[in-house]
């Protein structure tokens, strides 16, 4: 009897989620959602597990949230997978994280292709291990012609480094006479790693931390921010829908009245 009710309970939950998705889609959804996926280590510690267990569990959540954002007709999902500061973590943890793109994309890539998702990456890819680069480049290549959701991994990414790289490129182009020495915001944005993407409309951070942690500092100037105490491995579809609903209630003035 319990198993029957368990099955019905799952069906009801699935129906409720589908209904919620349809309700959310009736209003304007963010074109670009960016997520700082925080709390993997704390999730593992609470369960007396090694930190890598939290990263593995968090990878499963990326899969669920990617599917949901695609269903919501969001255009871009940017996930902060590994920052330039994360190299300071224990080598064993870093080595494991660097294997995750291979595992994630190895199992999920056929599904991404079938669902018309386009994989992109921003960050200093040349500094990544060869096996990580190989997995990412394969996913980018095999999905380059897809026209649906863009799943943008921020991998070995730091916003300050990105801005400094942009400034150095601008200086070089000014010296070479390619551009004038006076540039505007639009021109500067074209030197960033997100040059082909609109700025995030909604930026989410999990785990209770209330800071940007060197993530898209230029691009998030007018993003709507949404913070939650939920640790990333516990982040469910309902939490994303809650964030989008909150976004829909806000008025975006971009400095105007």
Catalytic residue among 16, 86, 116, 201: 86
Q: State yes or no: 205 annotated in a binding site.
A: yes
**d(Cα 72, Cα 62) in Å, to the nearest integer?**
15
Residue 12 designated active-site: no
Q: State yes or no: 87 annotated in a binding site.
A: yes
SS3 114: helix
Beta-bridged to residue 63, according to DSSP, are none
Q: State yes or no: 51 annotated in a binding site.
A: yes
Q: State yes or no: 239 annotated in a binding site.
A: no
Asked if residues 224 and 247 have their Cβ atoms less than 8 Å apart, the reply is yes
Residue 146 designated active-site: no
Hey, how many other C-beta atoms are within 10 angstroms of the C-beta on 26? 8
Catalytic residue among 16, 38, 180, 201: 38
Q: State yes or no: 27 annotated in a binding site.
A: no
Interstrand relation of 150-157 and 76-83 (parallel, antiparallel or unpaired): parallel
Q: State yes or no: 40 annotated in a binding site.
A: yes
**d(Cα 101, Cα 104) in Å, to the nearest integer?**
5
Q: State yes or no: 181 annotated in a binding site.
A: no
Binding site per annotation, positions for substrate = 39-43, 51, 55, 83-85, 87, 89, 205, 211-213
Binding site per annotation, positions for Mg(2+) = 38, 224
Active site residues: 38, 86
Binding site per annotation, positions = 38-43, 51, 55, 83-85, 87, 89, 205, 211-213, 224
């Amino acid at each position: 009897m319990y198993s029957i009710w368990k099955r019905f309970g799952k069906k009801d939950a699935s129906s409720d989620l589908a209904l919620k998705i349809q309700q959310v889609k009736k209003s304007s959804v963010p074109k670009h959602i960016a997520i700082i996926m925080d709390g993997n280590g704390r999730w593992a510690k609470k369960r007396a597990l090694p930190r890598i267990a939290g990263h593995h569990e968090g990878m499963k959540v990326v899969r669920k949230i990617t599917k949901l954002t695609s269903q919501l007709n969001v255009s871009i999902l940017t996930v902060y997978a590994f920052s330039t500061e994360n190299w300071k973590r224990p080598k064993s943890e870093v080595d494991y994280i660097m294997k995750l793109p291979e595992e994630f994309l190895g199992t999920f890539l056929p599904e991404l292709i079938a669902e018309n998702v386009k994989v992109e990456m921003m960050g200093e890819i040349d500094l990544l291990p060869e096996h990580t680069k190989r997995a990412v480049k394969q996913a980018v290549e095999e999905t380059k012609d897809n026209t649906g959701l863009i799943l943008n991994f921020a991998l070995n990414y730091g916003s300050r480094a990105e801005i400094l790289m942009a400034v150095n490129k601008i200086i070089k182009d000014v010296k070479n006479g390619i551009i004038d020495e006076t540039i505007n915001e639009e021109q500067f944005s074209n030197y960033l790693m997100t040059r082909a993407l609109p700025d995030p409309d909604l930026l989410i951070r999990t785990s209770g931390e209330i800071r940007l942690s060197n993530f898209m500092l230029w691009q998030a100037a007018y993003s709507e921010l949404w913070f939650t105490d939920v640790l990333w491995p516990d982040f469910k579809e309902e939490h994303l829908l809650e964030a989008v609903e909150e976004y829909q209630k806000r008025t975006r003035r971009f400095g105007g009245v």
